A and B are shown apart, each in its own frame.
Chain A
Amino acid sequence: MRSIRTFLVRLAASFFRKAGWERDLAAEIEGNLELQIEDNRRRGMTPAEARRAALLKFGGIESIKENYRDQKGLPFLESLVQDLRHSLRTLRKSPVFALVAVVSLGLGIGANTAIFSLIDALLLRELPVREPHRLFALTQTGRKFLKPSSNIRYGFFRQLEKEHQILSGIFAFSGSPRSNVMVGSQGEVTDALMVSHDYFRVLGVEPQIGRTFESGEENVVVISYRYWKRRFAGDLSVPGRSIAINGAPYTVIGVTPPEFFGPIVGTWIDVTIPAFGGGTKPMPMADDDDLTWVMGRIANGVTEQQASASLTASAQRWMESRGSRQRPAILLEPAGRGLSFLREQFSKPLYILMAMVALVLLIACANVAGLLLARASAREQEFAIRLGIGASRGRLVRQLLTESILLSLLGGVTGLLFARWSAEAVAAFVSTLKDPVWLDTSVNMHVFGFALLAAAVTGILFGVAPALQGTRLDLTAALKQGGRSARGAIGVRFRQVLVAGQVALTVLLVAGATLFARSLNNLRNLDTGFQRDSVLMMSLDPAQIGYKDQRIARLYEQILDRVERVPGVRSATFLRNNLLANASTLTSIVVPGRLPQPEDEMELTPGIKIGNATRSFTVGPRFVETMGMTLLEGRDLRRTDRFGTPLVAVVNESFARYFYPGESAVGKRFGYGPDKPNAVEIIGVVKDVKHKQLREPATRTMYGAALQDPGSWRDTTLNVRTALDPARVAPSLRQAIADVVPGLPVFNVAPSQRMFEDSVVTERTLALLSGFFGILALLLASIGLYGLLAYSVEKRQNEIGVRLALGARPGDVLAMVVRETAVLIVAGLMLGLPATVVAGRWIATFLYGLTPADPTALALTVAALGTVGVLSVWMPARKAARTDPMIALRHE
């Protein structure tokens, strides 16, 4: 405590320096000196002797003052402030240098901060809830699932809800398909979350206004702050208001705090509904049903292992009481950072981008280091004088480092501003129609700290070398040279290494960007087997408003009837799993006369294999025609293939070739089990289509007639082929559907081109951002190269003058400068190209149709670097060639 007090006293002395202390000290010394003199005289010295002895004893008054001054204030801080003032003055004197340095660093640090803020939001940050480290996701071992599931039984969950020793609280939740929320007469589709009633209490989220759920409550809803602001204009009297969700009435009871977005990182939950309460709404649950997601908060003093062991024992007892012979275990996974579906998809691309921006920053650092070196050599005389009159080299180095850290901090501030908007833009890049991504990329302490750290590290990185180089001086030589560098060559050599390094890094970045861009292009030009232009798609879910089974089939027939009469519509169909939606199902089939073979197995998800399998989709009439697929044989599905008529299916080429090699598949039959071996007749064969995703091999596939099998449809996509621009037909299509079923939620309306774009979102994000970083790198490298060349031509004006005077032609001088540049670029390429091929392995999973050693990409990179070289060398070389020997020599 005392040291803090002392520090503050000294700090105050540093800043509120009163001139008084020096006079005070002088008076004190003077007084004490007199006392000494008197004592001396009393001991019998003569006045002169007494005075002399006293002065001797006191020593140098100035050195006392010096020591006193150091103790009075904080010398380190004072010299720092002095250095800062000096740095600001020198920077203000060379604004162009300051601007180039700050902007380069700003772009570098900004790009790093932007990518980091995404990594932070997606991968690092904890949920804004109470003690997030105590939250765990619970899963039960046992069955394997196709859909996300905790495999925890509802009955067991209800039991855990009542116990509090191990888990102080537990809740379940599940996303509902995007829901139609009506406020007044305004409908809107949004993300809703169904939760058990303890959800908010266990998370420790206090409502901003109103309250959260009570046990057993139904038909109430808690809305997000953002939703409240947007749809209720922040009305404080919102608790008690009625809204309709998918047609059912709900009462708003509370609003969550502004920072709370729900348990799923990347998704902002606007509407939270209580469910799993034992009631029937909105989703009845039986004891043996499993819950989608379960999270619990571990009680104080309980370890993860203890909790897991104890919960496993309870789960086994519960399963036993249900007559099950399973002995499952309960697994706990830390859930403080929330759930995320984006993590898996985007963590590697984000790390790739982070590596790229780090390289960009290095290039920027090299630039600034080069600039600082040039400045240091221009200031050689200043340094020589300062060293000459007694400044220590350490003091000079410290001052130069202060200058570079000041630059980097200015760059850091610029970078934060830049990151502020760019992170949002990047988050928007990765959004898809089906999964709009929302990430909190606002600047928080993590991000701020990162930017600060990046700035400080870069400041030291580019500052140390020039500071050490610049102050290693031969004083006499430096002073004699009268301001012109005594040994510019060393500085130039160092800068040459820097620039070659920059070129190498730029090669890496440009090659990476080219590889990504070419991959994206390959994917875009891929023959998907269907035509994605002029198709409009929209999602419908009649089950949301209570339609079931046969009524759904009837409804679809009516919708198709009505939609096909809309002007501009050519044909319409619907699919359960839309094209490129990354979803598919597998079906076991029986082909009469063919024995099942091991290779008939197909893998559904890792670890789950299905025998005698084919991929299968359920589709509506005129499917082949509407999707623009190629019918090779037979016919398309028709409206007459409806409930009650003999089952028919269209299959793809791979299917036909696999099961009926060498013969026509049309007219052949297959079935779904031994009891119905001939149930389905193949009526048509289509060319293979990339149905699930672009990067898939040809897979045998059957397309069953949806109208014949109304089963439990949910969430279908209506696809409409139009004669006009699909976007223009959209409003009349919405109207047509509303005519048939008023109140049926229609969402995700978009041209199917959008579906395609969404399916390449990772590749597109990588291509766009790496392209941007590549261009940035080129720009920075050309600044570096130009700076070095201009500087070295300037330095060698003399030498060039002599050469010209001795008979060299301007062409020779030009060639000399060009050669010098070429050497640098070639050196950079020789480092960069092999590095690209090696680093390319790391990004290979994101490439398509090419390898990291793709000749076209590498050639393009070389061309880009060559162009930069030519552009940067042009002005300095011309200047060198036009040197007038007379002027150059007199310049000496």
Chain B
Amino acid sequence: MNAKVDVWQGTLGLMVLKTLETMGPQHGYGVARRIEQISGDRLLVNYGTLYPALLKLEQDGYISAEWGVSDNNRRAKYYTLTAAGRKRLRTEAQQWVETTGIMARFLSAEGQNL
């Protein structure tokens, strides 16, 4: 089974921040592509969610947006991580690592401590 999954509620923002951190300023399409690629094409980014999510991050002040020109000369809106966004990314990533760590330990614990 290789069914594609929609990005889980609440995780898209974090993925966007991470993408912008690693790739630098990026347009919406680029962000979506990158997320899908990293997931080995198992995640599907819905544009109806992506643009509002980008807007929300912008309203929160985590990213800033600017019009620019893409490699192949297309006008595109480029998003850049702000200082606040960088901080936010760190704390949120930390929380995720902890959560997944706990979940992983919890799920692999069967048989040992039960």
Contacts and interface: CB of A to CB of B under 8 A. Distances in A.
B96 interface: no
Contact of B51 (A9, A29, A31, A57): A29
Interface in A1-24: 2, 5-6, 9-10, 24
Interface stretch (B53-61, B97-105, B106-114): B53-61
Which one of A9, A31, A39, A64 has the greatest number of beta carbons of chain B within 10 Å?
A: A31
A67 B29 contact: no
Nearest to B28: A32
Contact of B48 (A34, A36, A64): A64
Given A28-B51, A32-B27, A58-B47, A5 B74 contact: no
B60 A5 contact: yes
Contacts of A482: none
A27 B75 contact: yes
A327 interface: no
A63 interface: yes
21 contacts: A6-B60, A9-B59, A24-B77, A27-B77, A28-B76, A31-B75, A32-B27, A32-B28, A32-B29, A33-B29, A35-B74, A35-B76, A36-B29, A59-B46, A59-B48, A60-B48, A63-B48, A64-B47, A67-B51, A71-B55, A71-B59
Closest 10 CB pairs of A and B: A32-B29, A71-B52, A31-B76, A35-B29, A67-B52, A28-B77, A9-B59, A64-B48, A71-B55, A6-B59
A58 B48 CA distance: 8
B59 A10 contact: yes
B contact patch SS? helix
A68 B60 contact: no
B33 interface: yes
B72 interface: yes
Contacts of A57: 47
A28 B47 contact: no
A64 B70 contact: no
B77 to A, nearest CB: 5
Contacts of A60: 48
A25 interface: yes
Contact of B55 (A2, A32, A72): A72
Interface string B57-93: 0011100000000101011110000001000000000
A9 B56 CA distance: 10
A217 interface: no
A304 interface: no
A63 B72 CA distance: 28
A38 interface: yes
Sorting the interface of chain B by its residue count into under 10, 10 to 19, 20 to 34 or 35 or more gives 20 to 34
A644 to B, nearest CB: 99
Given A31-B76, A34-B74, A35-B70, A2 B60 contact: yes
Interface in B25-52: 27-30, 32-33, 46-49, 51-52
Nearest to A27: B75
Given A5-B61, A6-B61, 13 more contacts: A2-B61, A6-B56, A10-B59, A24-B77, A28-B27, A31-B70, A31-B77, A34-B74, A35-B30, A68-B52, A70-B52, A71-B55, A72-B55
A58 B49 CA distance: 11
B51 A64 contact: yes
Contacts of B46: 59
Contacts of B59: 6, 9-10, 71
A39 B27 CA distance: 14
Nearest to B29: A32
A58 to B, nearest CB: 5
Most buried by B among A33, A58, A63: A58
A75 to B, nearest CB: 12
Interface of A: 2, 5-6, 9-10, 24-25, 27-29, 31-36, 38-39, 57-60, 63-64, 67-68, 70-72
A9 B57 CA distance: 12
A39 B49 contact: no
A58 B47 CA distance: 6
A2 B91 CA distance: 15
B96 to A, nearest CB: 19
B48 to A, nearest CB: 5
B91 to A, nearest CB: 12
Nearest to A13: B59
A25 B76 contact: no
B50 to A, nearest CB: 9
A32 B76 contact: yes
A64 B29 CA distance: 14
Nearest to A35: B29
Contacts of B29: 31-33, 35-36
Contacts of A68: 51-52, 55
A2 B56 CA distance: 12
Given A2-B60, A5-B60, A31 B52 contact: no
Contacts of B28: 28, 32
Contact of A38 (B51, B72, B77): B72
Contact of B33 (A5, A28, A39): A39
Given A2-B61, A68-B55, A71-B52, A29 B33 contact: no
A31 B74 contact: yes
Nearest to A71: B52
Nearest to A31: B76
Given A10-B59, A68-B55, A31 B27 contact: yes
A1 to B, nearest CB: 10
Contacts of B33: 39
A45 to B, nearest CB: 16
Contacts of A34: 74
Most chain A beta carbons < 10 A, residue from B30, B33, B56, B77: B77
A430 B76 CA distance: 77
Contacts of A38: 72
Contacts of A71: 52, 55-56, 59
Nearest to A39: B33
Contacts of B55: 68, 71-72
A25 B51 contact: yes
A483 to B, nearest CB: 40
Contacts of A63: 48
A35 B27 contact: yes
A71 B28 CA distance: 16
A27 B70 CA distance: 14
A6 B60 CA distance: 5
Nearest to B30: A35
Contacts of A39: 33
Contacts of B84: 2
